[in-house]
Homo-oligomer: A and B are copies of this chain.
């Protein structure tokens, strides 16, 4: 079948990952408008899409800023000309040489995060020895779930800030309220957003009161940016999953089904009239083991099934069970018969969690509202810069 430009979703080898460019552009436009409305810069998180091409759509005409989850992404976005890239995972001392390598991939600025004095001191010593290859934000814990200096740890906060400032690499503060994913409704998410905002604004005040500068005040996840009432004092937001969206975001009320820009294309490879079983060639390597919607009101198993055009849900069909390369079709509420699918038929599967599902694939088959593959965009896999 080869890699000819004329391929369509009717002929390309399955399983594969399909990206609808028009939907990404629309999601990007909406988020740009939202950031503008909130009066903050948009530093989209590329951990979801892991694609320079998607990244360019996300930043639009604005400054090409990015948040990344690996040094491999940092390197790729700097090499692509992004001007300001934040690696949002705490950097241990031994990774500083790798960070420096990523920083040298392009002329843009690399920013790192730390939440301990040891890591701050190591970063300060590194730039003293090797030059100002990056600067550093202090990570703030706004919901007690993951990383960051906790509220009340003022001495720790200021020790880290002084360490960084002394080396001329204190860039600001950042937080991520992962708790927004557990909040049940828009008003609960708005409260998480306010907690997130207050945590970094207060940390910045403490740093400024100590006579240091704190230019960047960074928050964000897709839900909190969507439902925040205001972001006074914040300078930038870092939503990520909005770029592609997924069933979990739909369940949260953050997106509609037609906003989900990524699907897995699969083929019916087994169909037994006797057992009633229908099998797809999308198992847990193509869909991931993610079961996020299992905690929501509508549990879509390993993904909801759409027609080949990616527009219409096929009743309440979903991928109910997965093995490595097999997905068993089921009906969420018993409304739709899996046997309505025919052997060889192709379907699209909406993922529970775009970040997890997309990670199983090395590229996007890019479409634009129909079945023609108009481009192929590589994904930045792995960790090595």
Contact = CB atoms under 8 A, between A and B. Distances in A.
A94 B344 CA distance: 7
Given A47-B325, A97-B1, A362-B382, A144 B275 contact: yes
A229 interface: no
Interface in A344-385: 344, 355-356, 359-362, 381-385
Interface string A258-282: 0000000001111110110101010
A381 B362 contact: yes
A89 B286 CA distance: 14
Given A325-B70, A359-B360, A344 B93 contact: yes
A25 B101 CA distance: 37
A50 to B, nearest CB: 10
A116 interface: yes
Given A281-B89, A383-B15, A355 B150 contact: no
Which residue, A147, A178, A271, has most C-beta atoms of chain B within 10 A? A147
A115 interface: yes
B270 A116 contact: yes
What DSSP secondary structure best describes chain A's contact surface?
Answer: loop
Contacts of A21: none
A270 B147 contact: yes
A343 interface: yes
A13 to B, nearest CB: 6
Contacts of A118: 343-344
Contact of A383 (B16, B289, B343, B385): B16
A230 interface: no
A285 interface: yes
Interface residues of A, number: 68
Given A90-B269, A362-B381, A324 B150 contact: no
A328 interface: yes
A69 interface: yes
A275 B150 contact: yes
A356 B116 contact: no
Contacts of A119: 343
A323 interface: yes
B92 A323 contact: no
A295 B147 CA distance: 29
A95 interface: yes
